[in-house]
């Protein structure tokens, strides 16, 4: 897919998803949401895609959030809610079992930072500014921000960011754990690709189940989370991936210690 608002490209197992409205700081409008819905299904179903990287076109922003020019343009509140319920974009993105990486530069605000939190790993350029400014518009984050942020950083920090609406820079985002890495702007996509290719050297089933154990376990009591981990570990150990990993260990091509 190469359209006006979204670019979808594949390169050797990596899918690059580019938000392509640089003239409005890659604000997410309904057309972009519709195309993201299609792209997310493609990511989920395509066996040739191992990892996806999300980025924003232009020099100024990953995404400045939802396109407020479309606010209130739905035929009715009922119709707007029905459309969101039938197409739970962010819920579907969170359920994708392949690793997702956000390569963030410039502004990542509102739905832009919420989209990045639906990814598993976030790399920020030094010029990145991240925040949830919805309260300044007499609104609240509604693309998962109130739930994802306190699951990503501490609840107290999340409360401060959401209630103030203030944006933070890349180094502060790194300090509080909102991003995992900060790199020079000119290295952003190369670093994201290097991380994606590193992930592709890992067992795909192990990546899938490790992600499932972590994301689902967060909402479980500890005993149930440990049971989930044990069940998924048994599935991995019974797989061809594990047998190939064991062979690599025996041949000295992989680490010799494993926490089992």
Sheet containing 121-125: order of strands: 6-11, 14-19, 51-56, 100-104, 121-125, 181-183
Q: Give the list of residues 6+ apart from residue 123 with CB closer than 8 angstroms, or none.
A: 101, 102, 103, 104, 179, 180, 181, 182, 183, 188, 191, 192, 195
Separation CA 236–CA 240 (nearest Å): 8
114 given a catalytic annotation: yes
Q: Cα–Cα distances in Å, from 87 out to 74, 143, 174, 210, 219?
A: 15, 12, 32, 27, 23
Give CA–CA dist 174/178, Å, rounded.
6
Task: Give dist(CA 80, CA 253) in Å, integer.
Answer: 54
Beta bridge partners of 122: 102
Q: Which of 35, 114, 193, 229 is catalytic?
A: 114
DSSP string for residues in 79-122: HHHHHHHH--HHHHHHH--S-EEEEE-BEEETHHHHHHHTSSEE
- Which of 131, 133, 134 is CA-nearest to residue 107? 131
Asked if 171 contacts 182 with a C-beta cutoff of 8 angstroms, the reply is yes
**Residue tagged active-site, from 35, 134, 193, 229:** 134
Q: Any catalytic annotation for residue 172?
A: no
- Catalytic residue numbers read 114, 134
């Amino acid at each position: 897919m190469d359209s006006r608002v979204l670019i979808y490209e594949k390169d050797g197992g990596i899918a690059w998803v580019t938000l392509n409205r640089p003239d409005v700081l890659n604000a997410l409008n309904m057309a972009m949401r519709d195309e993201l819905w299609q792209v997310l299904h493609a990511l989920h179903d395509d066996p040739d895609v191992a990892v996806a990287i999300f980025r924003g076109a232009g020099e100024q922003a990953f995404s400045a959030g939802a396109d407020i020019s479309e606010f209130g343009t739905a035929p009715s509140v009922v119709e707007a809610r029905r459309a969101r319920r039938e197409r739970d974009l962010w819920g579907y993105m969170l359920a994708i079992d392949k690793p997702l990486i956000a390569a963030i530069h410039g502004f990542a605000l509102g739905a832009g930072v919420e989209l990045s939190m639906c990814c598993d790993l976030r790399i920020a350029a030094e010029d990145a500014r991240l925040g949830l400014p919805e309260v300044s518009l007499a609104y609240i984050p509604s693309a998962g921000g109130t739930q994802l942020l306190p699951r990503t950083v501490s609840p107290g920090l999340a409360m401060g960011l959401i209630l103030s609406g203030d944006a933070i820079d890349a180094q502060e985002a790194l300090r509080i754990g909102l991003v995992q890495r900060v790199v020079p702007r000119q290295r952003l996509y190369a670093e994201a690709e290097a991380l994606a290719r590193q992930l592709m050297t890992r067992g795909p089933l192990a990546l899938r189940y490790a992600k499932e154990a972590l994301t689902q376990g967060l909402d479980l009591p500890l005993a149930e989370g440990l049971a989930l981990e044990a069940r998924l570990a048994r599935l991995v150990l019974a797989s061809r991936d594990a047998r190939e990993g064991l062979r690599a260990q025996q041949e000295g091509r992989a680490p010799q210690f494993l926490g089992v």
